[in-house]
């Protein structure tokens, strides 16, 4: 597996990151451990989790199952020094009673009850994450969901303290508007605080349709910002949009398609399907390969397989070599 530099840190992370969100809940532990072992065996080193994973899978849970599983795996495997470990804070829910209705998680309510990114909240959160992970530090610590109710100065000073204490080596941000990201960077420069080196946002081959307001999906402005600020690496979550590229029936009416559906998406999927046949991989795998071929900005796709089979289905993307002509067709496709 190839590696890329994370921002300008000098740290080399694998070009394909492994998301561990549903490990320990949806994905049974034995299957998750096999995935982790195989990922490291092929040269992967970039593991991603969060303290809130996965409260919405189990009524009564505040999260932490993913970090706990990773902690057990790290202890048993002895591979802590071989991986670049990322986790996140700020998106644990305060009140479980407020976010469960008729046995289903209410995400609108959840967003209103996140603990946020206050100084004490983050200090307590990183300590909890380190305890569950069984390590004295993480390599990358994200603000999971941008918190506009807390002054940025408070959040950034707390993060600087976490880095100074050796509990995290670098910081990142997720689910954030570009103007907020620029303000964050200005404050860091002004006060000498560590600035984000990674931006984790939803990004895929499809482009969100006109008129969609979505804080988490990369738009043209954010891409332009990243092109001119190479000290930030884009970590692209949901790169294959829950696997919709391989199955026209699955795409029809799927929630992951709602922000993208329309003539532009149809035109891009048509070209994607053609090129996938030419190179002998699935459309899902080609999306991952296309993302890894991007250089401005450089992108690290973050896969989150539910099963070992889904994990194995992503690996052919690592061997895809796209010609300039194929890349041009993929890039130029659209209504």
Domains along the chain?
3-332 (3.20.20.100)
Percent of the chain predicted with pLDDT > 90: 98
Q: Extract the tokens encoding 195.
A: 């600035």
Provide the token pair at 83.
Answer: 């991986």
| pLDDT of residue 280 exceeding 90 | yes
Strand (E) positions, 121-253?
138-143, 168-174, 198-202, 233-237
What is the mean predicted confidence (pLDDT) over 10-18? 97
* Phi and psi torsions of 282, nearest 5°: -75, 155
The values of phi and psi at residue 35, to 5°, are -60, -50
> Which pLDDT score, from 0 to 100, does residue 93 have?
97
Q: How far is residue 149 from each of residues 70, 90, 114, 187, 265, measured CA to CA in Å?
A: 31, 12, 11, 17, 35
Per cent of the chain over pLDDT 70 is 100
Provide the 10 A C-beta neighbour count for residue 77.
14
Q: What is the pLDDT of residue 54?
A: 95
Q: What is the mean pLDDT of residues 118-132?
A: 98
7 burial (CB, 10 Å; 0-12 / 13-18 / 19+) is buried
DSSP 193: P
102 pLDDT band (50/70/90 cuts)? confident
Answer yes or no: is pLDDT of 247 > 90: yes
Mean pLDDT throughout 29-51?
98
Asked if residue 262 has pLDDT above 90, the reply is: yes
Identify whether the C-beta of residue 47 lies closer than 8 Å to the C-beta of residue 86. yes
pLDDT in tens, 186-226: 999 999 999 999 999 999 999 999 899 999 999 999 999 99
Query: Cα–chain-centroid distance for residue 34?
Result: 21
Average pLDDT value over all residues in the chain: 97
pTM for the model stands at 0.97
CB count, 10 Å around CB of 322? 18
pLDDT for the residue 27 = 97
pLDDT score at 172? 98
Region 57-64 average pLDDT: 94
Per-residue pLDDT band for 253 (boundaries 50, 70, 90) equals confident
Confidence of residue 242 (pLDDT cuts 50, 70, 90): very high
Task: With a cut of 90, say whether residue 243 has pLDDT above it.
Answer: yes
Among 232, 318, 327, 231, smallest CA distance to 15 is for 318
335 — pLDDT class (breaks 50, 70, 90): confident
């Amino acid at each position: 597996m190839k590696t890329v530099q994370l921002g300008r840190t000098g740290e080399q992370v694998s070009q394909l990151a492994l998301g561990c969100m549903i490990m320990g809940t949806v994905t049974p532990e034995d299957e998750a451990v096999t995935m982790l072992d195989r990922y490291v065996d092929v040269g992967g080193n970039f593991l991603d989790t969060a303290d809130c994973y996965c409260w919405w899978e189990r009524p009564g849970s505040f999260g932490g199952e993913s970090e706990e599983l990773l902690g057990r795996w790290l202890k048993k495997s002895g591979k802590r020094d071989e991986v670049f470990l990322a986790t996140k804070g700020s998106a644990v829910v305060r009140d479980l009673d407020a976010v469960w209705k008729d046995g289903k998680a209410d995400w609108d309510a959840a967003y209103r009850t996140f603990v946020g990114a206050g100084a004490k909240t983050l200090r307590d959160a990183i300590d909890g994450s380190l305890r569950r992970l069984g390590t004295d530090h993480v390599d990358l610590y994200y603000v999971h969901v941008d918190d506009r109710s807390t002054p940025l100065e408070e959040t950034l000073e707390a993060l600087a303290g976490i880095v100074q204490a050796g509990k995290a080596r670098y910081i990142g941000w997720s689910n954030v508007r570009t103007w907020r990201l620029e303000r964050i960077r200005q404050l860091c420069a002004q006060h000498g605080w560590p600035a984000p080196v990674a931006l984790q946002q939803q990004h895929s081959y499809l482009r969100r349709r006109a008129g969609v307001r979505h804080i988490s999906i990369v738009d043209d402005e954010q891409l332009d910002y990243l092109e001119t600020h190479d000290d930030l690496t884009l970590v692209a979550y949901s790169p294959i949009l829950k696997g919709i590229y391989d199955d026209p029936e699955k795409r029809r009416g799927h929630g992951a398609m709602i922000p993208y559906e329309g003539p532009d998406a149809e035109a891009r999927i048509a070209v994607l399907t053609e090129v996938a046949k030419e190179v002998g991989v699935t459309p899902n795998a080609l999306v991952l390969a296309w993302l890894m071929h991007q250089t401005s900005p450089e992108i690290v796709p973050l896969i989150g397989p539910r099963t070992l089979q889904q994990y194995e289905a992503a690996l052919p993307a690592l061997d895809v070599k796209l010609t300039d002509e194929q890349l041009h067709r993929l890039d130029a496709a659209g209504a």
